[in-house]
Amino acid sequence: MCGRFTLTAGLGEIMRRFLIAEAEQVEHEPRYNIAPTQRVPVVVGLPGGERRLMMFRWGLIPHWARTPSIGQRMINARRETLLEKPAFRSLVPRRRCIIPADGYYEWKVLSDKRKQPYRIVPGDGRLAGLAGLWDRWVSPEGETVDSFTIITTEAVGPVASIHDRMPVILRPEAESVWLDADLRDSVAAVEMLVPHAETLSFYAVSTLVNSPRNDVPQCIEPVGDSGE
């Protein structure tokens, strides 16, 4: 599961990293504790290879949903069942996206039953691209909501000691293919979603991150225990 993440980079850095020429009404400040239902920058691919940065709500609301509340239960999509779940299988060939992130949080249950939060980050310091799916929901009143889910997979490498799931981090060479609007082969798309944790490191952080109200730099500061 991936229930919180960080995006401390500025808008310009995000656009350079993901080769984006156009941002559609994007308002972004550094984020230290992003939580479900919040709006964040997401990269989508357009015909011809163009990319666009848009603001999407975290928690997928399928276009057929009666109410947006379903999104709170659809913040993640398991890679293993993408082509089985009705909410996701129709999106794989046509509505793939990338969520920029420079870290995510997971909680490890300690021997005394306390939960210690860890921040997991790319070891090379680069912005990561998390694989996602998105959809557009229109309310009965005509309000449009674009939303997304983060695809997860079985955790591998050292991070598996913290949690058994992890977000799919796309390799840089796979990002263009994942965003290719002309790629309609669902099986080929899912085959790109392989666990990628060789360059990840992690460290313990304050329980400040337990509350989504706390979105401050102190959330990402190390508190002692760390790992690689």
Q: What is the pLDDT of residues 126-175, one digit of tens each?
A: 899 999 999 999 999 999 999 999 999 999 988 999 999 999 999 988 99
pLDDT at res. 152: 97
d(CA 222, CA 228): 13
Check: CB of residue 158 under 8 Å from CB of residue 144: no
d(CA 70, CA 197): 30
Domain segments of the chain as ranges? 5-104+129-154+168-198
Could you give the C-alpha distances from 216 to 31, 128, 172, 177, 210, in angstroms and in order? Answer: 8, 20, 29, 35, 12
d(CA 47, CA 62): 23
Query: Bridge partners of 108?
Result: 116
Residues acting as catalytic residues? 2, 106
pTM of the predicted model as reported, rounded to 2 decimal places: 0.95
What would the CATH number be for the domain defined by 5-104+129-154+168-198? 3.90.1680.10
pLDDT at res. 225: 59
pLDDT per residue of the chain (228 residues) written in tens, 0 to 9: 789 999 999 999 999 999 998 777 888 999 999 999 999 999 999 988 899 999 999 999 999 999 999 999 999 999 999 999 999 999 999 999 999 999 999 999 998 889 999 999 998 888 999 999 999 999 999 999 999 999 999 999 889 999 999 999 999 889 999 999 999 999 999 999 987 767 899 999 999 999 999 999 999 999 975 544
pLDDT at res. 205: 98
